A = this chain, B = another copy of it.
């Protein structure tokens, strides 16, 4: 793609943004709904996605449902208007620091967004995924940089969404699609782009974050990268429900062939757990699953070899088989180390394995484990504690939860981190390296604030205020007056 083409895309997104950013909530909500409906109504996308990604039909059908739901949910977020954080401080002649003018503030669309799509959720984190839905909800025109793992699906999704958006009265080019790494980088450097979002690897995300930060005018870059997702099982929890823990763990590790950023990568269990046979049995009952693409397959095989070389004990060896079409198929690999071994081999072990591999870590004393966890797991999307029902008042468990809350975006008590609920209270994003920016989420309705920017209006007559700040409140949004 030539420089002229990039300039053309940039100009189009600015033009679309100028109109789209001023649409009323109801119109924008209907446009989001139209995109969701169009996606659900398309009879071809599942087959295209299956061919390009090897994900199962059931998983892809579920993902379409989730993707449509995200768009519908954002439509409700837009209608609700709470996200605008409208604040009104009326003029106060008796203000302690001297007479205060009328000041009103709300969030406005930040500008055209560049969204780097992910490979592992060809719907939910791709062209019409959460980042795009959030940007459209926020009132920002979007350029999606397609993931090379599913180019045809990307084209089809962009086309159906563009038809739905223009059909709903939104300007052409509200959503555009580009292919190619260079094209993505050129756009990331372009002054027209005001915010960028990304879901992918630590290496790729860091490279793009550095580019965004090095621009003559740096822009916010929200990258969701990799995560190890530690799970700690207490001795009492193991006594209470060992079978459930084994089956839940193996299911969570192997679902979607482990190609999920919330896959539990490390399971801490007390020494003497006696779980090897059960773990091996559960792992061996998992059918082989295709890996998404050659790049992921290659990366996974390298990581797997590295982990197998570093780990003391192989619990379930698993395999990677390459078929006649050069597709790779994987079964779960589980290894076991002691806490001391993990610490000794931290450089080899403490890195994400993007595939169905997980490390079981034996600890002797919970009290000795907890202080090491912060240093071993400085930043994660999730961290999970499995404790027994009578341990919830144990100060040691409280300490563990507090520690995890400082180093992860989501802390689970029981359950498994895969399966991220799309809801207002979800937090999908934690300290580096799980994201490039942990002040926000990429799943759930709070994600919309990444694409907005606060603006205050001082002494503005009603006619010149944006709708959310007017006294007659034409959009009916929540307005908070005289907050402290």
Taking Cβ atoms with an 8 Å cutoff, the residues of A that contact B are: 22, 62, 65-66, 69, 73, 76-77, 79-80, 82, 85, 87-89, 95-97, 100-101, 103-105, 108, 110-111, 194, 209-210, 213-214, 217-220, 378-379, 392-393, 397-398, 401-402, 405-406, 408-415, 421-427, 429, 431-433, 436-441, 445-446, 449-450, 452-461, 463-464, 466, 480, 482-484
Contact B425 A440 (CB under 8 A): no
A88 to B220, CA, bound (A): 28
Contact A464 B398 (CB under 8 A): yes
Q: Closest B-chain residue to A95, C-beta based?
A: B421
Given contacts A209-B213, A378-B217, A461-B392, contact A425 B104 (CB under 8 A): yes
Give me the 8 closest cross-chain CB pairs, A-B, nearest first.
Answer: A427-B456, A76-B484, A424-B483, A213-B213, A87-B425, A105-B425, A217-B432, A89-B425
Q: Closest B-chain residue to A423, C-beta based?
A: B89
A392 — which chain B residues lie within 8 A by C-beta? 461, 463-464
A69 — which chain B residues lie within 8 A by C-beta? 96-97
Given contacts A401-B464, A463-B392, A482-B424, contact A411 B458 (CB under 8 A): yes
A96 to B414, CA, bound (A): 22
Given contacts A425-B456, A455-B405, A459-B413, contact A445 B484 (CB under 8 A): yes
Contact B105 A397 (CB under 8 A): no
A76 — which chain B residues lie within 8 A by C-beta? 484
A210 to B480, CA, bound (A): 36
A295 to B352, CA, bound (A): 49
A108 to B438, CA, bound (A): 12
Given contacts A460-B413, A463-B393, contact A424 B87 (CB under 8 A): yes
Contact B406 A456 (CB under 8 A): no
A436 to B100, CA, bound (A): 28
Contact A379 B424 (CB under 8 A): no
Contact B437 A454 (CB under 8 A): no
Find the residue from A82, A446, A457 having the highest chain B CB count within 10 A: A457
Given contacts A217-B378, A401-B460, contact A438 B453 (CB under 8 A): yes
Contact B415 A458 (CB under 8 A): yes
**What are 19 A-B pairs with beta-carbon distances under 8 A?**
A66-B97, A101-B415, A103-B425, A108-B405, A110-B439, A209-B218, A213-B214, A393-B463, A398-B463, A405-B466, A408-B455, A409-B454, A410-B457, A411-B456, A413-B459, A413-B461, A413-B464, A421-B458, A439-B439
Contact B459 A415 (CB under 8 A): yes
In the assembled complex, the CB of A427 is this many whole angstroms from the nearest CB of chain B, namely 4
Contact B411 A457 (CB under 8 A): yes
A22 — which chain B residues lie within 8 A by C-beta? 402
A466 to B408, CA, bound (A): 15
Contact B422 A439 (CB under 8 A): no
In the assembled complex, the CB of A87 is this many whole angstroms from the nearest CB of chain B, namely 4
In the assembled complex, the CB of A446 is this many whole angstroms from the nearest CB of chain B, namely 7
A466 — which chain B residues lie within 8 A by C-beta? 405
Task: Choose from B421, B439, B445, B456 the contact partner of A454 (Cβ within 8 Å).
Answer: B439
Contact B77 A484 (CB under 8 A): yes
A421 to B194, CA, bound (A): 28
Given contacts A105-B446, A213-B213, contact A453 B425 (CB under 8 A): no
A466 to B427, CA, bound (A): 15
Contact A454 B432 (CB under 8 A): no
Find the residue from A65, A431, A460, A483 having the highest chain B CB count within 10 A: A483
In the assembled complex, the CB of A370 is this many whole angstroms from the nearest CB of chain B, namely 14
Question: A105-B446, A218-B432, A392-B461 provided; 19 other pairs, C-beta below 8 A?
Answer: A22-B402, A66-B97, A69-B97, A76-B484, A80-B484, A103-B421, A103-B426, A104-B425, A210-B214, A213-B213, A413-B457, A413-B458, A413-B459, A413-B460, A415-B458, A425-B483, A426-B456, A427-B456, A431-B453
In the assembled complex, the CB of A133 is this many whole angstroms from the nearest CB of chain B, namely 13
A445 to B484, CA, bound (A): 7
A425 to B456, CA, bound (A): 7
Task: Choose from B105, B421, B426, B460 the contact partner of A426 (Cβ within 8 Å).
Answer: B105
Q: Closest B-chain residue to A461, C-beta based?
A: B392
Contact A379 B217 (CB under 8 A): yes
Contact A411 B82 (CB under 8 A): no
A244 to B423, CA, bound (A): 53
Contact A89 B458 (CB under 8 A): no
Contact B424 A484 (CB under 8 A): yes
